Amino acid sequence: MKVIELSIRADAESAEALAAAFNEYAYGGAVIEQVVTPEQGETLDAARPYTVRAFLLDDETRREKYLALERVVWAYSMLRPVGELAMRELAEEDYAHAWKKFYSILHIGARTVIKPSWLEYTPQTGECVIELDPGMAFGTGLHPTTRLCLAALEKYIAPGMEMLDVGTGSGILAIGAAKLGAARVDARDIDPIAVETAQKNIAASGLDNIIRVTRDSVTNDAAPHLYDIVVANIFADTIAELAPALAAHLKRDGVFIGSGILVERAPLVENALAAQNMTLVEKQQEADWLALVYRFKRTRA
């Protein structure tokens, strides 16, 4: 059976958002790529465009799915500039390799490395290698918010700590925390597809004994377990709404890392977290996105 390849050019933020939407319809999952020349090295540059690819089977569902993806692109183009949706036919055996060929080893922060499962890589001393198959939309490491969170985890995770990952997505932050020495990581998401994706990635990483993934909201705990670190790479409005529940899960002097925050939405988050007696200790920015690091200062036994 033939496979239909759809592709669209976009910047880093748009690429992740479009891939998340495309993933609902794609055969084998949407993928994101950025061609990196030897002169540019392995580090991704948010200023260079990305390509989002999705694959459809050439069957009776093709037209319905294509029209749905056209609507997604049109709606998103009202918010941010994106390229045209292109289409071409592939033989099924060509599809099997098409989505892999542009991925490479990705270095983030001082010592975090994201490695697609089919590539070989010899870690350098002290590096934290996360093996993760691309195509999982949010949580591939391409989005600035993911990179900011991973860099913050490098700084604040210490061996033996316990962490709560709110809105885990692909599980990339949970895996990173475990690789950096966390003794326990609870990863939560309300999206069943995200839970399934995270469970697969965590199992493939051999970290089931450290990371527990559940489909649940952070607001459902009558007697919350207290963590050294809580991380939430979600949206500003959601962080503000969940602020009381996030604080309720932190130990005294515990660290909260929040991202997914556009610069213009930062005051909303800052006010909500300040109301929970959290103190801002660090703010990092990449493009239009922020990561905020807080310490919980309220006296608690």
Q: Are 71 and 27 in contact (CB under 8 A)?
A: no
225 burial type by CB count under 10 A (0-12 exposed, 13-18 middle, 19+ buried): exposed
**Residues sharing a CB contact under 8 Å with residue 157, sequence separation 6 or more, in sequence order:** 163, 177, 180, 181, 182, 229
pLDDT tens figures, 186-204: 999 988 877 888 898 899 8
- Look up residue 181 and give its DSSP letter: T
What does the pLDDT read at residue 42?
46
pLDDT tens figures, 18-63: 877 787 787 656 777 765 544 444 444 555 678 888 888 788 888 8
What does the pLDDT read at residue 139?
53
Question: Could you give the domains of the chain?
Answer: 3-98 (3.30.70.120), 137-296 (3.40.50.150)
What does the pLDDT read at residue 215?
94
Which among 168, 230, 171, 159 has a CA at the least distance from the CA of 201? Answer: 171
Q: Are 29 and 23 in contact (CB under 8 A)?
A: yes
Q: Are 250 and 225 in contact (CB under 8 A)?
A: no
